[in-house]
Structure 1
Amino acid sequence: MKALVLTAPGKIELKELPVPTAGPGMALIKVTAVSLNRRDEWITEGKYPKIKYGVILGSDGCGIVEKVGSESDADWVGQEVVVNPNINWGPDPEVQSKDYTILGMPVDGMFAEYVVASLDRLQRKPAHLNSLQASTLPMGGLTAYRALFRRGQLKANQNVLISGFGGGVAQFAFLFAQAAGANVYVTSGSDEKLARALKMGARGGYNYKKEATYNDLWKTRGGF
């Protein structure tokens, strides 16, 4: 199979590698779409911990289950799935375990024709999304969801300020907060992005290069 491998600081090579094998509780997935995450850039630039060279990059992607390691899991074969890249989180929903890691570094990731993943890391692809759309969900979507609802305990009618509107996590957070019935405000350094947010239903948008500081927003909006 073809795969994108980090071979040295700032150097990525397209390599021909053996197709991995799915053991018990695992699935071999034919990758149909992947998406870039800021994490991929930082890893390539050497700005991330636990960097190993010779590893297949990529955290975000989806595909079709081609094989499983156990006959009892055969129902998965042929399913279109999104891969949750978080591995070994542990039993505590608040804090990851010491064994926690993420696909794409230090373990092989999604930027290949095939990937092996644990069955408990798979979610069936939403039918209303195509593969490319679904491939953007894992890291950005999970990060935004955890920030809003696990850490922030966001509820309907609360004010929420999303900074840096335009990035993947911020856009997911915006959509999730709106769906939850919150009053969503955004900041950005781009008037074009702010106009887009307002068109999408933001209660207010502020250019942090020109306008109010966070303290001013806090006072005028009654807190976030």
Structure 2
Amino acid sequence: MTQTMKAAFITGHGGNEVVSIGERPRPRRAPGEVLVRMRAATLNRVDLYMRDSGAGITHRLPQVMGIDGAGVVEEVDDGETLLRPGQRVLLHPAISCGRCEFCARGEGVLCPRVSYLGEHRDGTLAQFVSLPARNVFPMPEGFGFEEAAALGVNHLTAWRMLFNKARLKPWETVLIFGIGGGVSLAALQLVKWAGAKAIVTSRDNAKLQRALVLGADHAVNGAHQDVAKAVLAFTGGRGVDVVIENVGAAVWDSALRAVARGGRIVTCGATSGDQPPADLRRVFIRQLQILGSTLGDLHEMDALLRACAGGAIRPVIDSTWALDGLHAALDRLEAGAQLGKIAVRLD
């Protein structure tokens, strides 16, 4: 008899009417995999994208939602030496082939056959997940399940953007757009951890004030201020060394005007549109670098967790919901009302 579990899954595409909460087949652990009893997951914009259309992402319906998560090891291979039943763990959501040229050089997120939890395969908004042992990491000491779950997408994405792509230095200044979002808030924490300066933007004064409390050096309200002019004024006309953005078309012009000569713009999303004006003359005359980034590799997850071990980096949790309250949690994410991560308990 097939064992079942409780999960949140999409049955089609549209609004919350296609998001069901009920029984799904419990995954069977394959050799080399770890079966994890999930305790918490957090919501990401891609959850809304998969619900709304999932266009361009190969997937089958019904599909369990959720990209990141944390829980407790339920089953492992007898010969597994790093993980044990009962251990508290978090998940790296990108399962790569391990054999292509990109995987061979430690760039699994570039693997042409990579599959993401909650996108190409069943995700983390379920009582159980089974995935390769290399994708399962021990939780940092003292972290709650919600905090650990939040590291797997937002903090890992921000880590790669700042330290792999932008090669951030402690004496530099970073402009971070949309500080209410998970990646942006994670970037603020990591910028300050690295000893650099951070300028943040939002259209919400309450979020800007909270960001200042969390260490931002300057805050700009994009609803009432010209972001580029405000940044230039704060930096004495020079501009910032690095821009971190996942908004897309709505802020692209400001990003180009706010960055210093020779500066770097790192982008990981396009929630407001993916076809911004390029302004190529500004790009080549000022010798700007435009860098794309998605998630992070296994070795970057290891580096992030080592940094978290000291306790200086802890994800901000906006709110926590039961799985049965997922529709309301998705509404909160869609409205952009959150500051930090919206977590879902899976006990």
Same-fold status (TM-score > 0.5): yes
Residue 199 of structure 2 corresponds to 185
Matches for 1:83-98 after TM superposition, within 5 Å = 83-88=91-96, 90-93=103-106, 96-98=110-112
Residue 88 of structure 2 corresponds to 80
Task: Provide structure 2 residue ranges, at least 5 long, that are not aligned to the other structure.
Answer: 97-101, 241-347
Does the residue aligned with 1:43 lie in a helix, a strand or coil?
Answer: helix
Q: Does 1:119 align with 2:127?
A: no
**Deviation digits for residues 20-72 of structure 1, max 9, x if unmatched?**
1211210111011111111101110015422431111110111101101x210
State the one-letter code of the partner of 1:4.
Answer: A
Pairing partner for 2:7 from 3, 9, 21: 3
Distance in 2, Cα, partners of 1:204 & 1:220? 8
State the one-letter code of the partner of 2:111.
Answer: S
Pairing partner for 1:151 from 161, 165, 171: 165
**Deviation digits for residues 135-173 of structure 1, max 9, x if unmatched?**
111111111111111111111121011111111000000
Residue 17 of structure 1 corresponds to 24
Q: TM-score, normalised on structure 1?
A: 0.93
Is the 8 Å Cα contact of residues 221 and 227 (structure 2) preserved in structure 1? no
4+ residue segments displaced more than 4 Å? 92-95
Distance in 2, Cα, partners of 1:119 & 1:159? 38
Q: CA 1:6/1:185 → structure 2, altered by over 3 Å: closer, same or farther?
A: same
Does the residue aligned with 2:212 lie in a helix, a strand or coil?
Answer: helix
Pairing partner for 2:74 from 51, 57, 66: 66
Task: Provide structure 1 residue ranges, at least 5 long, that are not aligned to the other structure.
Answer: none
Q: CA 1:37/1:65 → structure 2, altered by over 3 Å: closer, same or farther?
A: same
Aligned pairs, how many?
Answer: 223
RMSD: 1.8
**Deviation digits for residues 71-90 of structure 1, max 9, x if unmatched?**
10164221110001012172
Please state how far the C-alpha of 1:223 moved relative to its aligned partner. Answer: 2.4
Q: TM-score, normalised on structure 2?
A: 0.61
Residue 138 of structure 1 corresponds to 152
State the one-letter code of the partner of 1:135.
Answer: A
Distance in 1, Cα, partners of 2:42 & 2:179? 19
